[in-house]
């Protein structure tokens, strides 16, 4: 009798599982947009949850957005407003409460045009973020994330001077590599909870930067050819600050010897919050 | 027991083989679609766009079949190479052993389809049914008209083939939920795109850009209405028709106000728009001094209404063209009646015993006016620019006729330049010159003084049929390296400003260039000032003082928009 029940249950299981498998459809879709070099483009990415990769496009004047996701879990919308040179990508999770992503990885890959003057605004709620933004023409860059690891690097110099750079990450490790290559004039870096590494390598123009961390360790690297004027706003006794010996205290600032006469310099304001602040200058 | 197990095995086999059966399709019947081998395609059909797409999305040595126009690949059809379709939708129910690329058309992939490589739609959409077998990627590409035309410039294609670059509208757009529920261009976003508003709209004063119209002033009181903005972004046909406008009611004035526009757009973006308009408006010439939304706030909160109003009722015809994203041209003819309006309310949330200003009378009557305007706008931001030019030249011509004694012209040149000096520091300048010919009615005179004009003087202190105005602002603040680290200045942004100008009546106004000899530095009214402001330079507390001879008071104003 028991064997019979098992035997009857088995085909039911096979049939129902095959039906369930059939329902989950994976969408793999790419959207390309061709531009003329020197054109302006405002790109807005609003993503609920995904592994997000951004990198330069081998096709210099083309924007490419690739999405791979389960139909049951996500929905997306790309709006191209040609008149205002604006593209907004909305990638939404359908149900936050039901974790029905399945076994599939949710991926978004954005290949950015190099020759188009970009105003890039990213708001990503959760997910790993890996951005290689070197050799682009970024006029402005803003990133806001709520949870997840963030890795941003500028392996090559930005082709234009960046008017502002704003990074706001709530929870998770944030690593910023060769940020000087971004050629920003002003940067605001704000990390809520988690390790924050900021590498200012590549700086060639004068710039200002505000670095603010609430809880966690902050590592800042500044190459010694860059002049530095640094102010540190400690959070009571809970911030442990490690200032390199090359920076001398002048009033409320720490200043490097080459700061005054060096155009290649950074004025840095750091608020370490609760945690260690280590500044490397070599 | 063995028999039972054998039966179960058969059932399991049958169930698991169902998908196999359904997928084992027969594609061996001859192809009913007439395709042409790429090498044998007529050279006229190989336009720059077609070649560009072929090079970009198909391999150099790939075997390609070419089709022109709408096509359907039936369930039984099988194609053993890649397919390139130009200017038409493609429906795939059969098999393609390669890529499917469609230019200016949509791709509909049915459940029975089997495509061995990428599916590409240029300037169209891809709709895929559940169950379709696609081994490659689904790629939707936008190659815009400007780029397509740019590429075409070097080709020999005729005027007729130009229309080939306009994507034909999909017949499936609204046909079924099955198609539209997919992931592109959802309806949800459409409303946002409808909100996109051309800065060139004529007579847009007092109407905001949303579907809901609201404002508050002393002649209409609370004004509520509904607005249908123009659908500029849906122009995809050689001829596009659009109806837009608004209707609303002023509760204190107890009047309905409306405007209806019928617009005929030729070609896509950049093509001219021909329009006809009928309207009955509460209008003002003071939008350049203070935007309606800020004025509404001031009126509703502190009983200060800076705009002066009149009623304008009539109709007109116009043509508008945006030649480049930054350059725009408008030309129109209007027949309209002007009427004075009275102050009808004195309510505001605060303001104590203060009363609204009297709304000045105008010169009433019928006018038949030609209007023209050209504007160049290279600013990096419309509301808070840091760099760029904004130049507007406008004119109106009014000849006397049987029904109207008005015979005058009016011209205004407004030139603005925003110059970033270094990070956190800006130098902004505006020059505005106004002149005219003939006797100008009161509603079209030039007024100076107060907010946005001569900030060290009382509001509309000066009037005339000639005007010169220069505003200079130097903005600096906490992002400026020059002042960073200074403990006093660090938290603030400042603006130092200088205004100088004059409005006067020309001794002789037979010609528009007369009267400027009356102008001299001694007669100019000037003021200096300082403002405390936010990072964008919009929210600001201005303190200004006249530097003219004689005693003068400090004029303090609070604004939430820039003066220019």
Q: Measured in Å, how far apart are chain A's first and last C-alpha atoms?
A: 79
CA separation for the pair A79, A74 (Å, rounded): 17
Cβ contacts of B189 on chain A, cutoff 8 Å: 77, 79, 88, 90
The distance from CA A204 to its chain's CA centroid, rounded to whole angstroms, is 22
Say how many residues make up chain A: 282
Per-residue pLDDT at A103: 58
Contacts of B149 in chain A (CB under 8 A): none
Q: What is the mean pLDDT of chain A?
A: 84
Which chain B residues are Cβ-neighbours of A10 within 8 angstroms? 8, 12
pLDDT band, very low/low/confident/very high, at B71 (cuts 50, 70, 90): confident
Hey, is B184 helix, strand or coil?
coil
What CATH code is assigned to B401-564?
A: 2.40.160.50
Number of Cβ pairs < 8 A linking chain A and chain B: 104
Q: Give how far B325 is from chain A: nearest CA, Å.
A: 8
pLDDT of residue A237: 63
- Tell me: pLDDT of A89 over 60: yes
Cβ of B137 within 8 Å of Cβ of A59? The answer is: no
Is the predicted pLDDT of residue B16 greater than 90, yes or no? Answer: no
Domain boundaries, chain B: 36-180, 189-362, 401-564
Helices (H), chain A: 2-23
Of A109 and B421, more confident: A109
Confidence class for position A87, pLDDT limits 50, 70, 90: very high
- Answer with the residue of higher pLDDT: B324 or B374: B374
Of A140-149, B6-15, B371-380, B384-393, the one with minimum mean pLDDT is: B6-15
Which of B198, B325, B423 lies at the smallest CB-CB distance from A185?
B423
**A194: phi then psi, degrees, rounded to nearest 5:** 135, 165
Mutate which of A79, A116, A255, A260 to disrupt the B interface (most B C-beta within 10 Å)?
Answer: A79
Nearest Cβ partner for A18 among B5, B16, B424? B16
Every domain of chain A and the residues it spans: 29-127, 155-282
What are the pLDDT digits (tens) for B181-232? 222 222 233 333 333 333 333 334 444 456 888 999 999 999 999 988 876 5
CA A159 to chain B, closest CA, distance in angstroms equals: 18
ipTM, 2 dp: 0.74
List C-alpha distances in Å: B131 to A17, A198, B42, B75, B200.
17, 48, 37, 14, 48
Q: State CA A29 to chain mean position distance.
A: 22
Strands B138-143 and B119-122, bridge-based pairing: parallel
pLDDT of residue B44: 80
Of A152 and B480, the one with more pLDDT? A152
Residue A210 contacts residue A230 (beta carbons within 8 Å): no
Q: What is the DSSP string of B245-304?
A: EEEEEETTTTEEEEEEEEEEEESSTTS-EEEEEEEEEEE-S-TTTS-HHHHHHHHHHHS-
Q: Cβ–Cβ of B1/A3 closer than 8 Å?
A: yes
Kindly give the interhelix angle for B48-57 and B145-152, rounded to the nearest 10 degrees: 110
Residue numbers in B near A207 (CB within 8 A): 423
- Under an 8 A CB cutoff, do A79 and B193 touch? yes
């Amino acid at each position: 009798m028991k064997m019979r029940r098992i035997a009857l249950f088995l085909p039911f299981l096979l049939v129902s599982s095959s039906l369930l498998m059939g329902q989950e459809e994976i969408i793999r879709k790419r959207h390309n947009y061709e531009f003329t070099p020197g054109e302006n483009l405002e790109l807005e990415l609003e993503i609920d949850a995904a592994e997000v990769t951004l990198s330069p496009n081998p096709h210099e004047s083309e924007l490419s957005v690739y999405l791979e996701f389960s139909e049951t879990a996500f929905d997306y919308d790309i709006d191209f407003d040609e008149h205002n040179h604006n593209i907004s990508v909305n990638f939404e999770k359908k149900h936050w409460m039901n974790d029905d992503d399945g076994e599939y990885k949710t991926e978004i890959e954005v290949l950015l045009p190099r020759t188009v003057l970009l105003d890039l605004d990213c708001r990503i709620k959760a997910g790993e973020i890996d951005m290689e933004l070197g050799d682009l023409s970024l006029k402005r860059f803003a990133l806001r994330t709520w949870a997840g690891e963030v890795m941003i690097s500028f392996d090559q110099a930005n082709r234009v001077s960046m008017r502002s750079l704003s990074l706001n990450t709530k929870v998770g490790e944030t690593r910023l590599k060769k940020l000087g290559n971004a050629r920003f004039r002003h940067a605001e870096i704000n990390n809520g909870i988690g390790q924050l590494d900021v590498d200012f390598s590549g700086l060639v123009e004068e710039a200002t930067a505000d670095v603010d961390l609430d809880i966690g360790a902050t590592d800042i690297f500044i190459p010694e050819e860059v002049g530095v004027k640094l102010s540190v706003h400690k959070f009571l006794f809970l911030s442990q600050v490690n200032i390199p010996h090359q920076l001398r205290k002048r009033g409320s600032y720490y200043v490097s010897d080459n700061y005054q006469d060096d155009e290649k310099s950074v004025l840095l304001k750091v608020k370490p919050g609760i945690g260690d602040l280590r500044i490397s200058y070599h | 027991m063995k028999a039972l197990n054998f039966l179960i095995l058969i059932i399991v086999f049958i169930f698991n083989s169902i998908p196999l059966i359904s997928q084992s399709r027969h594609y061996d019947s001859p192809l009913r679609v007439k395709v042409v081998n790429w090498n044998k395609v007529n050279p006229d059909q190989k336009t720059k766009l077609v070649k560009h797409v072929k090079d970009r999305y198909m391999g150099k040595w790939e075997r390609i079949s070419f089709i022109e126009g709408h096509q359907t690949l039936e369930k039984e059809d099988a194609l053993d190479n890649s397919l390139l379709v130009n200017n038409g939708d493609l429906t795939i129910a059969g098999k393609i052993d390669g890529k499917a690329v469609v230019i200016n058309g949509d791709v509909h992939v049915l459940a029975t389809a089997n495509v061995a490589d990428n599916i590409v739609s240029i300037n169209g959409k891809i709709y895929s049914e559940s169950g379709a077998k696609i081994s490659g990627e689904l790629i939707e590409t936008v190659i815009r008209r400007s780029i397509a035309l740019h590429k075409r410039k070097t080709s020999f294609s005729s005027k007729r083939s130009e229309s080939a670059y306009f994507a034909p509208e999909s017949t499936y757009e609204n046909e079924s939920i099955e198609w539209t529920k997919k992931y592109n261009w959802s309806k949800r976003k459409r409303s946002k795109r409808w909100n996109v508003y051309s800065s060139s709209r004529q007579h847009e004063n007092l109407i905001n850009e949303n579907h809901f119209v609201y404002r508050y002033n002393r002649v209409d009181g609370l004004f509520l209405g509904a607005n249908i903005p123009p659908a500029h972004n849906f122009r995809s046909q050689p001829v596009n028709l659009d109806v837009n406008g608004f209707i609303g009611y002023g509760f204190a004035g107890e009047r309905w106000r409306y405007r209806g526009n019928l617009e005929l757009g030729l070609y896509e973006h950049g093509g001219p728009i021909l329009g006809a308009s009928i309207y009955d408006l509460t209008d003002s010439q003071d939008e350049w001094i203070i935007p309606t939304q800020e004025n509404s706030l001031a009126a509703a909160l502190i009983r200060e209404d800076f705009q002066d109003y009149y009623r304008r009722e009539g109709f007109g015809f116009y043509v508008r063209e945006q030649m480049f994203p930054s350059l725009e041209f408008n030309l129109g003819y209007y027949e309209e009646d002007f009427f004075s309006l009275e102050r009808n309310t004195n309510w505001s949330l605060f303001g104590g015993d203060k009363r609204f200003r009297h709304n000045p009378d105008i010169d009433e009557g019928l006018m038949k006016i030609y209007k023209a305007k050209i504007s160049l706008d290279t600013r990096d931001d419309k509301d808070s620019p840091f760099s760029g030019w904004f130049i507007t030249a406008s004119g109106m011509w009014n000849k006397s006729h049987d029904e109207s004694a008005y015979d005058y012209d009016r011209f205004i040149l407004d030139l603005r330049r925003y110059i970033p000096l270094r990070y956190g520091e800006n130098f902004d300048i505006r020059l505005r010159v106004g002149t005219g010919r003939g006797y100008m009615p009161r509603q079209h005179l030039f007024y100076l003084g107060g907010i946005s004009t001569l900030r060290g003087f009382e509001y509309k202190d000066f009037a005339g049929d000639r005007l010169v105005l220069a505003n200079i602002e130097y903005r600096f603040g906490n992002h400026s390296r020059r002042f960073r680290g200074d403990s006093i200045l660090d938290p603030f942004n400042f603006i130092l400003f200088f205004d100088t100008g004059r409005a006067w009546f020309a001794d002789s106004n037979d010609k528009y260039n007369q009267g400027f000899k009356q102008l001299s530095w001694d007669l100019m009214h000037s003021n200096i000032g300082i403002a405390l402001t936010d990072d964008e330079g919009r929210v600001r507390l201005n303190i200004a003082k006249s530097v003219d001879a004689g005693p003068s008071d400090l004029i303090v104003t609070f604004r939430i928009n820039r003066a220019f």
